[in-house]
Amino acid sequence: MKAELLAKLLPSSCDMSSIRSKSNDSITSEDVLIKISYARLNNNELYYVLSKFLDDESSRGKMYYNLIEDLKPVFNNQESNELVSKYVQAGITESIIIKCPFCNGTGVLLFKTSVENCPHCKQGDFIYNNLIRSSFVGVKEKDFDKEKYRKVMEKLQDIEISALDKLGDV
Ligand SMILES: [Zn+2]
């Protein structure tokens, strides 16, 4: 488990001594799960935290299906399920995947004779733009509906803010 993700999951203001594992001083995933269990997260908040910070694929899938249902009214129920799902899938990816997949989050690409800054990210954080987003959705950039995408991202941000708030209060 990545230390920086744990640092995000566990706000610095919280007292770590009470959740420290007995065997050593490092924080284990069990410690994190205990903290999560006390935070009274709702389903989507729990799935969000588990998929973003603990790379849990099955939580990601459950959140995906919930969000498609939740967002249908936002899409005015006019759109095909398939299109709603694609926007939701793309939004979840942007919300959850921070690390650049091209350089593995290092920010540099290694070539035989040189090292170059990775053009796909900013110091390892993947750069999302509308071209990338539209390719995730599976449409041409000109057909990409920014307003719909914004609504998906807003929903995800609300879930993240609420989840981190509750975790911070534990
Ligand atoms: Zn990169």
How many domains is the chain built from?
A: 1
**Can you give the residue range of the structural domain that contains 87?**
3-7+26-167
Is 13 inside any structural domain?
A: no
pTM of the model: 0.78
Is 17 inside any structural domain?
A: no
Among all chains, which residue has been given the structure tokens 């509906």?
145
What length does the chain have?
170
Q: What's the mean pLDDT in 3-29?
A: 53
Is 98 inside any structural domain?
A: yes
Q: Tokens for 80?
A: 């095909």
Q: How remote is the CA of residue 40 from the centroid of ligand 1, in Å?
A: 36
Q: How remote is the CA of residue 105 from the centroid of ligand 1, in Å?
A: 6
Q: How remote is the CA of residue 26 from the centroid of ligand 1, in Å?
A: 29
Residue 8 is predicted with a pLDDT of 57
Is 12 inside any structural domain?
A: no
Cα angle: 69, vertex 165, 9; to 5 degrees: 95
Is 18 inside any structural domain?
A: no
Residue 16 is predicted with a pLDDT of 43
Q: How remote is the CA of residue 109 from the centroid of ligand 1, in Å?
A: 7
Is 19 inside any structural domain?
A: no
Q: How remote is the CA of residue 125 from the centroid of ligand 1, in Å?
A: 7
Is 16 inside any structural domain?
A: no
Residue 125's φ and ψ, nearest 5 degrees, are -90, 120
Q: From CA 170, how far away is CA 165, in angstroms rounded?
A: 9
Q: From CA 138, how far away is CA 144, in angstroms rounded?
A: 9
